[in-house]
Amino acid sequence: MRPDLTALIVPLHQLTPLLQPFLLQHVQSPAATVPPHITLHMPFLPATAITPRVLSDLAQLCAATPAFDSKLGNLSRFPQAGVLYLEPDPDTALLALSTEIQRRYPEAPADFPEPIMHLSLSYAYAAADLDRIERLFKQAYQQDLPLNAAATSVSLYVKRNNVWHEHTVFPLARPGSR
């Protein structure tokens, strides 16, 4: 286990009231302490390497990136990892941010160098369990799909004592502010 693990995510706070009850049941801790989100880069730098220069660079990157909207409606899976997730559409802005982070921080290779942008709904379940969880999700949320998601910031999270904590929020540019 990496005790000073960090991650860069796009939190989707507006989805918390709707999805958090489901996530608390089906996402194993410590991830359940994080709002619904799409991960851009994990692991990022060790917590000890998060310097004022890194924070300033991330702030500039995010300030130059316009906020954007996505719809989350298509359910998919990473079967080997036991993950059920929602796909963002479009995912272009998310992939561009992820790619730029990887370019700027080659010393922090992501676990998945060619990421698939997604909002996880469950972790570490067997295939039969994923079938059941997908049925439960559809029963509870089918009428709400697709979910509208406004990406307005990127957050740096640090894992301490097996719990994720928000370290810094980097606002994305408001439309028309660039």
CA distance 145 to 37: 16
CATH classification at residue 12 = 3.90.1140.10
Digit-coded pLDDT (tens) for 43-63:
999 999 999 999 999 999 999
Confidence at residue 31, expressed as pLDDT on a 0 to 100 scale: 54
Q: Is the pLDDT of residue 12 over 90?
A: yes
Confidence at residue 74, expressed as pLDDT on a 0 to 100 scale: 95
Closest CA to 93 of 120, 70, 71: 70
Count how many residues are written for the chain: 178
CA distance 50 to 122: 29
Task: Confirm whether 1 is domain-assigned.
Answer: no
Task: Confirm whether 102 is domain-assigned.
Answer: yes
Confidence at residue 124, expressed as pLDDT on a 0 to 100 scale: 66
41: containing domain: 6-171
Q: What burial letters (b/e) apply to 162-178, b meaning 16+ CB within 10 Å?
A: eebeeebebebeeeeee
Task: Confirm whether 65 is domain-assigned.
Answer: yes
Closest CA to 8 of 32, 38, 36, 40: 40
Digit-coded pLDDT (tens) for 98-137:
999 999 999 988 787 688 999 999 886 787 888 999 999 9
Confidence at residue 178, expressed as pLDDT on a 0 to 100 scale: 52
Query: Residue 168, Cα to own-chain centre: how many angstroms?
Result: 15
Digit-coded pLDDT (tens) for 163-173:
889 999 999 99
pLDDT band, very low/low/confident/very high, at 177 (cuts 50, 70, 90): low
- The three-state secondary structure class of 41 is strand
In the DSSP assignment, the letter for residue 130 is H
Q: Which helix (H) or strand (E) holds 171?
A: strand 163-171
CA distances from 147 to 89, 152, 174 (A): 10, 16, 21
Task: Confirm whether 149 is domain-assigned.
Answer: yes
Digit-coded pLDDT (tens) for 60-101:
999 999 999 999 999 999 988 889 999 999 999 999 999 999
Task: Confirm whether 177 is domain-assigned.
Answer: no
Task: Confirm whether 176 is domain-assigned.
Answer: no
Contact 42, 8 (CB under 8 A): yes
Task: Confirm whether 22 is domain-assigned.
Answer: yes
As for how many domains the chain has, the answer is: 1
End-to-end CA separation in angstroms for the chain: 41
Residue with tokens 């992501």: 110
Q: Which helix (H) or strand (E) holds 76?
A: strand 68-78
Confidence at residue 59, expressed as pLDDT on a 0 to 100 scale: 98
Task: Confirm whether 70 is domain-assigned.
Answer: yes
Closest CA to 66 of 150, 169, 149: 150
